[in-house]
């Protein structure tokens, strides 16, 4: 999976800070557990990561250097969200298909 520059920077930052990593691992697991659909969990994480990126931009020089110009729009964090869901959560078991029954038996 390929991350954009901002996603990679955020991922590296979280990996390099144990308290931040633990916070995000717990948050990702909670959001995935609460969600009925993995796409909704990823979309929610995408928004959460963007808010976090903006907040960190005010205090972390590396983030503020890549902050986009005002009014230029939001950067997608979807790939990062999908990556951490895969890395930090257990895959949900697939529903077992009903066994085929022989109508003549």
Instruction: Report domain extents, the chain.
Output: 5-88
Q: pTM for the whole thing?
A: 0.79
Residue with tokens 């995408």: 46
Handedness of CA 27, 32, 33, 39 (dihedral sign): positive
pLDDT for residue 69: 55
pLDDT at 100 over 70: no
**CB contact at 8 A, 32 and 85:** yes
Residue 23 pLDDT level (bands cut at 50, 70, 90): very high
Beta strands in the chain (DSSP E): none
Closest CA to 30 of 18, 19, 44, 17: 44
Mean pLDDT of 79-87: 96
Residues 25-79 pLDDT 10s: 999 999 999 998 889 999 999 999 999 999 998 888 888 776 655 555 688 999 9
């Amino acid at each position: 999976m390929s991350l954009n520059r901002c996603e990679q920077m955020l991922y590296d930052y979280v990996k390099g800070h144990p308290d931040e990593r633990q916070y995000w691992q717990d948050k990702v697991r909670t959001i995935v557990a609460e969600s009925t659909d993995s796409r909704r969990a990823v979309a929610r994480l995408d928004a959460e990561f963007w808010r976090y990126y903006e907040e960190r931009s005010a205090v972390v020089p590396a983030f503020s250097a890549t902050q986009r110009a005002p009014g230029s729009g939001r950067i997608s964090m979807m790939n990062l969200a999908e990556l951490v869901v895969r890395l930090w959560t257990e895959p949900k078991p697939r529903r077992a298909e009903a066994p085929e029954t022989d109508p003549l038996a």
